[in-house]
Amino acid sequence: MAGDGGSGVDWESLAEATSGAIGSLVSTTVLYPLDTCKSKFQAELQTHHGAHKYRNLSDVFWEAIRKRQLLSLYQGLNTKNIQSFISSFFYFYGYSYFKRLYLEKSGAKSIGTTANLLVAAAAGACTVIVTQPLDTAASRMQTSAFGKSKGLRETLAEGTWMEAFDGLGISLILTCNPSIQYTAFDQLKQRIIQRQRRKNGVSAEDNSRVALSAFSAFLLGAVSKSIATVLTYPLIRCKVMIQAADPDEDDDNEPQRPSKPRAPKTMLGALHAIWSKEGIPGFFKGLHAQILKTVLSSALLLMIKEKISKFTWVSLLALRRYLFVSQKKIKAA
């Protein structure tokens, strides 16, 4: 595969990053109402009286309909899309770049599982630090009362600059989640491609790009994400609780309900609150919704990425050729 072509740009990593970012943008938009319902359901903590506003995920959806705020299921979508696009671009660029750098430095023909996990974790950590304020703002918008969500600037201005990084510690720990997912996906993908090459009689040295079918990419994405989600879910719920909008911003037209406890802003505080008020089942409250959302989102992302990666690569090659010719003309002039 071509490198930078002397232009100082890693075009291969750029193609991977662009394809991944576009896939993330589409999947985020399609599944956003489900994500909003999931986040509001996860953020709610049982009161001292044992009361729950939402008994299940559908209660959130019916609340939006009852209040004629169906479009509020999309509150924070623009911020989420910006965060999702930037996050996926940084992640796929970093993952592709670090992976290629490792192969060049080590001289290995393929990357092992351990090295792949480290590369994915490094890319994920860099991404989290850059996009955490956007992630926090999007979570606050989603968990605000229907119809009361503010804009990005207003949401971030409500707290200090440090509060924009609420949940950063958990986010860094959760970098193991996509690391497990994309490592499993990449390894399974290589096996399927090798099988396709053998079936088609193509040699392993042939560098022509082989794309997965849409169904294969979807299935691999679902399998690789579901396991990682189950293992890390207690931390996922803690992160939502930490980043959620304050309870006093919620419904003021339901005075008959007991006052909601303020969500703790530390990981240990969130874990203790869940344990003391909801017990062990509380650590997995909303797990089914999280699996549904993350599996569908990841599968759609990887499926779209696989289907447009070839087009993205060809487009960037054309752009590189245009820039190279333009530079030649400028130098000749």
Residue 53: what pLDDT? 81
Of residues 280 and 108, more confidence is placed in 280
Q: What is the mean pLDDT of residues 213-221?
A: 76
Inter-CA distances, 31 with 28, 67, 292, Å: 5, 21, 10
Residue 222: what pLDDT? 75
**Which one, of 333, 236, 309, lies nearest residue 11 by Cα?**
309
46-61 tens-digit pLDDT: 765 666 788 888 899 9
Domain ranges of the chain: 12-199+210-249+262-328
Residue 150: what pLDDT? 85
The structure tokens listed for 198 are: 């053998």
Q: Is the dihedral of CA 100, 102, 106, 108 positive or negative?
A: negative
Surface-to-core class of residue 286, CB atoms within 10 Å of its CB (0-12 exposed, 13-18 middle, 19+ buried): buried
Q: Does position 329 have pLDDT exceeding 70, yes or no?
A: no
Q: What percent of the chain has pLDDT over 90?
A: 18
Q: What is the mean pLDDT of residues 267-282?
A: 89
The structure tokens listed for 164 are: 């924009």
Surface-to-core class of residue 246, CB atoms within 10 Å of its CB (0-12 exposed, 13-18 middle, 19+ buried): middle
3-state secondary structure the chain: CCCCCCCCCCHHHHHHHHHHHHHHHHHHHHCHHHHHHHHHHHHCCCCCCCCCCCCCHHHHHHHHHHCCCHHHHHCCHHHHHHHHHHHHHHHHHHHHHHHHHHHHHHCCCCCCHHHHHHHHHHHHHHHHHHHHHHHHHHHHHHHCCCCCCCCHHHHHHCCCCHHHHCCHHHHHHCCHHHHHHHHHHHHHHHHHHHHHHHHHCCCCCCCCCCCCCHHHHHHHHHHHHHHHHHHHHHHHHHHHHHHCCCHHHCCCCCCCCCCCCCCCCCHHHHHHHHHHHHHHHHCCCCHHHHHHHHHHHHHHHHHHHHHHHHHHHHHHHHHHHHHHHHHHHHHHC
Residue 322: what pLDDT? 65
Q: What is the mean pLDDT of residues 265-283?
A: 89
Neighbouring C-alpha atoms within 13 Å toward the C-beta of 301: 31
Q: Among 22-26, 170-174, 200-204, 218-222, whose mean pLDDT is lowest?
A: 200-204
Tell me the C-alpha distance between 323 and 333, whole Å: 15
Residue 187: what pLDDT? 78
Q: Does position 326 have pLDDT exceeding 70, yes or no?
A: no
Provide the Cα torsion 293, 296, 298, 302; round to 10°.
Answer: -160
Q: What percent of the chain has pLDDT over 70?
A: 79
pTM over 0.75: no
Tell me the C-alpha distance between 309 and 304, whole Å: 8
Q: Does position 205 have pLDDT exceeding 60, yes or no?
A: no
Contact between 92 and 10 (Cβ < 8 Å): no
- State the pLDDT confidence band at 236, using cuts at 50, 70 and 90: very high
Tell me the C-alpha distance between 182 and 156, whole Å: 31
In this structure, CATH architecture of domain 12-199+210-249+262-328: Alpha/alpha barrel (1.50)
Q: What are phi and psi of 6, to 5 degrees?
A: 80, 5
**Cα end-to-end distance, the chain, whole Å:** 32
Tell me the C-alpha distance between 142 and 243, whole Å: 10
